[in-house]
Structures are given as structure tokens and as C-alpha cells.
Amino acid sequence: MNTRTITFIGGGNMARSLIGGMMSNDWPADLIHVADPDQKQLELITSAFPGIHTHTDNGSATEATEIVVLAVKPQILPEVARSLAGSIDKDKHLVISIAAGIRSHDIDRWLGGDQAIVRCMPNTPALVQSGATGLFANARVSDEQCSLAESILRSVGITLWVKDEALIDAVTAVSGSGPAYFFLVIEALEDAGVKLGLDRDSARLLSLETAFGAAKLALESKDTAATLRQRVTSKGGTTEQALKVLEEGGLRTLFAEALKAAAQRANELADKLGAE
């Protein structure tokens, strides 16, 4: 059982998903605090997780705990971080940011400097405990604090550390934005199935179960995705014909260009938000 105290600044969907994951992994409710100016958000928190402490003042919530999770929208993080500068103790607190697109050195500057900061890039499947999160720790973060941060994010899925913060942009492109790519593929499969004569509900069910089954098979297999693809591609068969169309249509090039565009945009947004 964990004995560390933690405050979430912001009580939105991602904060609630992390709290749910943590509590399912035996993190006591009375060690968890949530600060949010929206009373309705706090009511949702206390209804879903009895025993959690709620606050409308960020500073008082922060001073009572050892770990602070910045779970607010990126656009308001500069203001929120500056307001916390007097409440964050660099010798006491670990700061974890799940705000997309904001670099650790900018958060450190807004908080007053010399803070232990872990920057995370989770994705929306964390809402159903199937997330993928990239993490980066600045030089002030200890090994013990790294383990703490990992345990929090691992409660909603898998975690992956990067040593170079610039790689968080690549994580953003692959897994941060990645669910949308798969939703698009599912949408396209469904539409194509309807054009072939299936009713919408049938096409949707087949597309969803196929996506789920393929991912589950890949996760549980030791083989690469390429090997799994080859195994279901009989020479001269239907799958071979379909894949030929996709390859000739430049699918791999499109994905490479799409992820490059996402990574570049992540870098641009970090520059813009960090300039505040």
C-alpha cells in the first residue's frame, strides 16, 4: 500500500482516470487531494471516490502533500504554475505534468526554478486503463521519485521513459495522437463494409472486433507485426490483394508524413506555450 500523499491540480477526465487506477492499485483515498475551482468537478470526484480530499484553493492542497500532478489544460498551465510557485518546495515536492506540449524547463521556470519535474505524455485510452504514456525526468528527479511517477502512470496502462525530452514529440506523434489514427482506420473499414452491402451496425461491430482482436493478438505474440501480417497473407488470396492496394496507395509514406507533421506541430506548440 502506498503511503505518499498526492495532489491533483485539476479534476478533469485524465485526473479522474489516474485516481481510479491508483485506487485500484491500493493507493488510499485519504492520501489523495484534488484542487479545482469548479465545484461540479469536485462533486464528481467525491461521488466516484469517497474519502478523497477536495479543495478550491491550489496552494493549500499542494502544501499538504508530497506529489503534485499538474492536470490542467496547457493554455492555463503558465498561470496555474506561477500561482503555485510559493507553495512548491523544491526539497519536498515531486511535480508531474500531464499537460500536453509544455516542456519541463518552462514549467520549472514558472514554478521558481530547481524543481523535480517529470513530464508525461499520456493518451486517451488511459480513461479505460489501456493507456500508453511517455515520461521524461529532469535532473532534479531522484530514482525513488521516478519510481513514484511510473507507478502513478502505470496504473492506467504501460509507461516508457525517454532520456531526451525532445523525444516526447515523437511519443506525442505515435501514441499521444495515435488513437485518432486507429479511429480513422476503424471508421474507414466501417464505411467500406457498408459500401459492400453490410448494414451499418454489422460493419461497425466487425470493424471494432477486428481492431481489438488484431491488437490483442499482437500484444500476446512474441512475433513482430510484420510476421503476423505475413502469416495471414496467403499468396494469391484476398488479403494479399487488399494489402497490395494499400501499399501501392502509399500507406507507409502517408503514415510517416502524418507522424512527422504531428511531431513538428508538438514542437511548435511547445515553443508557443513556453514563450509565456
pLDDT of 1 reads 62
Question: How remote is the C-alpha of 248 from its chain's centroid?
Answer: 33
> 6-171 and 178-266: same fold?
no
Q: How far apart are CA 120 and CA 133, in angstroms?
A: 7
Tell me the CATH class for 178-266: mainly alpha
Residue 10 and residue 72 in contact, taking contact as beta carbons nearer than 8 Å? yes
Q: DSSP for 57-113, please give it.
A: -HHHHHHT-SEEEE-S-GGGHHHHHHHHTTT--TTT-EEEE--TT--HHHHHHHHTS
* Domain regions of the chain by residue span: 6-171, 178-266
- Evaluate whether 2 touches 27 at the Cβ level (below 8 Å): yes
Question: Can you tell me the distance from the alpha carbon of 177 to that of 267, in angstroms, rounded to the nearest whole number?
Answer: 14
217-237 mean pLDDT: 96
6-171: what CATH class? alpha beta
98 contacts 74 by C-beta, under 8 angstroms? no
151 burial class (0-12, 13-18, 19+ CB within 10 angstroms)?
A: middle
- At 259-274, the pLDDT tens digits run 999 999 999 999 998 8
Instruction: Quote the mean pLDDT of the chain.
Output: 95
Confidence at residue 2, expressed as pLDDT on a 0 to 100 scale: 73
**pLDDT tens digits for 229-257?**
999 999 999 999 999 999 999 999 999 99
Q: Report strand pairing: 67-70 vs 94-97.
A: parallel
Q: What is the pLDDT of residues 100-128, one digit of tens each?
A: 889 999 999 999 999 999 999 999 999 99
